[in-house]
Structure 1
């Protein structure tokens, strides 16, 4: 597949990670704890590859967009590892594969597991994205939850041109082990593609979607029962109908089609 041809160093660094193709994208067949452990190991000095590892996540909307937006598909296939951030992806894999995805790896959950491990090991974070108010509130709450976690810097994501390039230089100089980028799909993936060559001192870049909104407290997550049966999208639509109703009406049917037509077992 395309990502195997163009991403040889990333392929070597993730060679031991089992994968399954779900909805047309190759997903890491790792659970939440295993994904966090992989991220921790990736920032060990002996594991670094001279550039940051690029981790991103996919849900039904992403599958639908990748199938209709060639540029978005290319951005996702450039990732070193893709996590399944959607319960329907997990359910579809269990119906069609002898080695399914073990569980949903939501970035909102993954952040906290990595933060606890990073706090214990002295690893460092940089939090980039969202609005200025959201970013500040998210960082403040994270520092309350994990008082020993080293957050070496943070910035809102509304930067362009020379201001953005200067911020990238600043991030690289701070050399965080983890750069959490919350700019939304596909802007955050495009950011990684453009600026990875300038972030050689960063260990791992993890795209984060709306993570900072949850960390700031401005948005609430769906009840657990809705998350478990794959209806978190419905909860989000109830909270933001004007922004999300049409999006899900157009992407959900296509995502369901892809989940049952473009899957392949572990390899």
Structure 2
């Protein structure tokens, strides 16, 4: 789906969408009206660290459509490097906004992934909150492996929901989305991962103030230390000691920011196709 309100800019090979809040709302409405498997995705600094163990993620993600700055640090770093960002929104709040617009438009939604209990609770909470949304029974029967892929796609297409929320961890959700983007009979796809836990009422959403201050990572550690402490510390060291210095070095000393630099993301040089995929200053 093409929309002149959403500009696509290049940040070291990452496609990032430029929009105002009003542009975003209009884009969601257009997606619900005319979209065909339009994928909404969010970048954070944590996302970038996943390119190191899963270099294929870079290729998957840059095939998506609306690319928001999910993490405040990513947003501020991109602004510092000259990207003309106008509005930032995290995936949880973007998902909520899509559901609000969907409710206004009498749309339908389905959640796939997560546990059966969480999926059912999240679906019921959506029914209770959004009276005009049609919430189809979610799907948790598959493990999102290749052998279960066709079964999962067939279940979704049986209902043809306008909005599809994919509640599994990365890189499974990114791979499933990339592989099936053209096979799914839906209008908006949001690989939202742990957002299903929030919708189910099991995890508190990070307050906007905390996100704006850039302390979302600390909030997660405080709430779920056993789950996030080790992972976030590893991510933070990689971000602070390698990614940010390399980005600032290439932006201010090398004066380049609009093409792919594999050393920033620790993506092997052998991945030539990926490295040359996005080389222009602005993307369409």
Q: What TM-score do the two structures reach when normalised by structure 2? A: 0.78
Query: In angstroms, what is the RMSD of aligned CA positions?
Result: 2.5
Q: Contact 2:49 / 2:239 at 8 angstroms: preserved in 1?
A: yes
| Structure 2 gaps, min length 5 | 252-256, 259-280
- Measure the CA separation in 1 of the matches of 2:54 and 2:123: 33
Corresponding residue for residue 83 of structure 1: 68
Q: Contact 1:123 / 1:149 at 8 angstroms: preserved in 2?
A: yes
Corresponding residue for residue 219 of structure 1: 203
- Measure the CA separation in 2 of the matches of 1:148 and 1:39: 17
Which structure would you say has the larger Rg? 2
- Give the structure with the higher percent helix: 1
**Per-residue CA shift, 1:63-99, capped at 9, x if unaligned?**
12225532121211222232110011121123221x5
Q: Contact 2:32 / 2:102 at 8 angstroms: preserved in 1?
A: no
- Measure the CA separation in 2 of the matches of 1:258 and 1:64: 8
* Number of residue-to-residue matches in the alignment: 250
Find out whether 1:150 has 2:139 as its counterpart: no
Aligned ranges for residues 58-137 of structure 1 at < 5 Å? 58-67=43-52, 69-97=54-82, 99-137=83-121
**Per-residue CA shift, 1:24-79, capped at 9, x if unaligned?**
522112245533431220232xx34xx51222211111112225532121211222
Find out whether 1:231 has 2:253 as its counterpart: no
Q: Contact 2:14 / 2:62 at 8 angstroms: preserved in 1?
A: yes
Q: Contact 1:90 / 1:103 at 8 angstroms: preserved in 2?
A: no
Find out whether 1:184 has 2:169 as its counterpart: yes
Corresponding residue for residue 264 of structure 2: none
Corresponding residue for residue 39 of structure 1: 28
Find out whether 1:194 has 2:179 as its counterpart: yes
Aligned ranges for residues 237-252 of structure 1 at < 5 Å? 237-252=221-236
Instruction: Judge which range, 64-73 or 154-163, deviates more.
Output: 154-163
Find out whether 1:18 has 2:14 as its counterpart: no
- Measure the CA separation in 1 of the matches of 2:103 and 2:201: 21
Corresponding residue for residue 3 of structure 1: none
**Per-residue CA shift, 1:181-233, capped at 9, x if unaligned?**
1112111011112223431x211211102111111111113344322111111
Q: Contact 1:32 / 1:110 at 8 angstroms: preserved in 2?
A: no
